[in-house]
Amino acid sequence: MTPRAVVIGPPGAGKTTVGELLAEAWQLPLRDTDVDVERTAGRSIADLFTTDGEPVFRAMEEEAVAAAVAEHAGVVALGGGAVLSERTRSVLREVPVVFLSVGLAEGARRTGLSTARPLLAGVNPRATFKALLDARLPLYREVATVEVDTDHRSPTEVVEAVRAALTGWGATTGSDHD
């Protein structure tokens, strides 16, 4: 059992939102590894960061991604920083990976209203977001099968663009049946 698609990208790219819509369109279940980690820990991610620190969260995330990619036949949405793990990037080489990109202004806008993202909770979330994009862009691209820009698209339009992009990819691999 391998996922039909694994969705990656920075915070606010819409991994959860688009992952849900994509799963609905394909009539498949969605698995979100942020939710898996919270369930395993019995605590929120924000709590994990504060109490145990980021390395503990990253180790749990690595396990959650490996399990989801091995077990889940639907859509898998990853946490924004999952690609920081080399093991995770290696696991992702075996499956169709959708990189949802978002620019600095729109990403900051979409994440700005939430306090649930511990990495962006500091004094200058916009600068943090820029540093995060700069550091991670090569990693997202390293594992992406397709890249879809979400900046000027509604979630529904993003889903359409993802399906179109994966159909082109599936034509040579046979993995997209629609």
Ligand X SMILES: Nc1ncnc2c1ncn2[C@@H]1O[C@H](COP(=O)(O)OP(=O)(O)OP(=O)(O)O)[C@@H](O)[C@H]1O
Ligand Y SMILES: O=C(O)C1=C[C@@H](O)[C@@H](O)[C@H](O)C1
Q: Detail the residues annotated as belonging to a binding site for ATP.
A: 12-17, 117, 153
> For residue 31, how far is the Cα from the chain centroid?
11
Q: Please, what is the minimum distance in Å from the beta carbon of residue 61 to ligand Y?
A: 6
H or E stretch covering 169: helix 155-173
Rounded CA gap, 14 and 32, in Å?
Answer: 12
Q: Please, what is the minimum distance in Å from the beta carbon of residue 134 to ligand Y?
A: 13
174: exposed, middle or buried (Cβ count in 10 Å: 0-12, 13-18, 19+): exposed
Under 8 Å between Cβ of 80 and 13: yes
Sole binder of Mg ion in the list 2, 16, 44, 128 (CB under 5 A): 16
Q: Please, what is the minimum distance in Å from the beta carbon of residue 172 to ligand Y?
A: 31
Under rule CB under 6 A, residue 81 binds ligand Y: yes
Stretch that binds ligand Y, among 18-26, 68-76, 99-107, 116-124 (CB under 6 A): 116-124
Under 8 Å between Cβ of 163 and 25: yes
12 binds, among Mg ion, ligand Y, ligand X, none (CB under 5 to 8 A by kind): ligand X
- Nearest of 71, 115, 97 to residue 175 by alpha carbon: 97
Binding site for ligand X (CB under 6 A): 9, 11-17, 34, 79-80, 110, 117, 150, 153-155, 158
Under rule CB under 6 A, residue 11 binds ligand Y: yes
Rounded CA gap, 10 and 140, in Å?
Answer: 9
Under rule CB under 6 A, residue 22 binds ligand Y: no
Rounded CA gap, 77 and 69, in Å?
Answer: 10
Q: Please, what is the minimum distance in Å from the beta carbon of residue 18 to ligand X?
A: 6
154 binds, among Mg ion, ligand Y, ligand X, none (CB under 5 to 8 A by kind): ligand X
> Rule CB under 5 A: which residues touch Mg ion?
15-16
> Rule CB under 6 A: which residues touch ligand Y?
11, 34, 45, 79-81, 117-119
